[in-house]
Structure formats: C-alpha cells, structure tokens
Amino acid sequence: GINAEYGEHTIELGNWSLHVQQTHILRSCCKCAANACTPCNFCVYDKTLHLPAWPEMTFDRNILTLTHLSSGCKIQLNTLDALKLVEDKQDVIKVAYSSEWLERRQNNTDI
C-alpha cells in the first residue's frame, strides 16, 4: 500500500515485504531549540560523521526495510548507517569517468 502523506510505500514480492520511507533532504544547519534535550538530525549527523564533505543532498530519514514474511527477520537500511561506512580520511567518492574528465580539462583555464 501507499501512504502519500508520509511518503511511505510497501510492496510484497514473493516471501518478502519491502517498506520504503521517503522524506525531504537534511537541513543545512542546526534547528535545535534553545533548551532541546534531543538534538536535531543535522546535529546528529554533524557529531557522528567525520567526512571531508557530506553528500550535496542527504535524505536523512529515508529508510528501506526488507522483511522476510515467513520468519519475520528484518533488514533495515538507513542513510546515517550507510554514511558511517564511507572512508572518512580522504574524499574517495568519485563519479564514473571523473579522472578522464579532469585529465581532459587539465589545461583549460575556463574551468
């Protein structure tokens, strides 16, 4: 079923249920209330991740849950856990052909 208000979708494929929660991108600054006991998501990401640079668009509350219907076993994938696995010592994420693109533009003063 689909719940458009919250951006939630569930699909059953054979013995599996795939549940997706989609939300907006992470804010680009702190939105904590002055006396907030719970930090905003920006602060959670800021304190948890030590990346040279964050992705330009981080969908901080998107979640994919895979459920095996017979056993009830679940696997949940979320943005923060995925970003924790990114190498934090250097910027190693590059799009395909980035080195070729850079090489071809090496002598171009307009870029």
Predicted confidence (pLDDT) per residue in 76-96, tens digit: 999 999 999 887 776 556 666
Report the pLDDT value the prediction gives residue 81, as an integer from 0 to 100: 96
Higher pLDDT, 95 or 26: 26
Report the pLDDT value the prediction gives residue 76, as an integer from 0 to 100: 98
Report the pLDDT value the prediction gives residue 96, as an integer from 0 to 100: 66
Long-range contacts of 21-25 (CB under 8 A, 24+ apart): 21/61, 21/62, 21/63, 21/65, 22/59, 22/62, 23/59, 23/60, 23/61, 23/62, 24/59, 25/57, 25/58, 25/59, 25/60
User: pLDDT at residue 26 above 60?
Assistant: yes
Report the pLDDT value the prediction gives residue 102, as an integer from 0 to 100: 72
Predicted confidence (pLDDT) per residue in 33-76, tens digit: 776 788 899 999 999 998 888 888 899 999 999 999 999 999 99
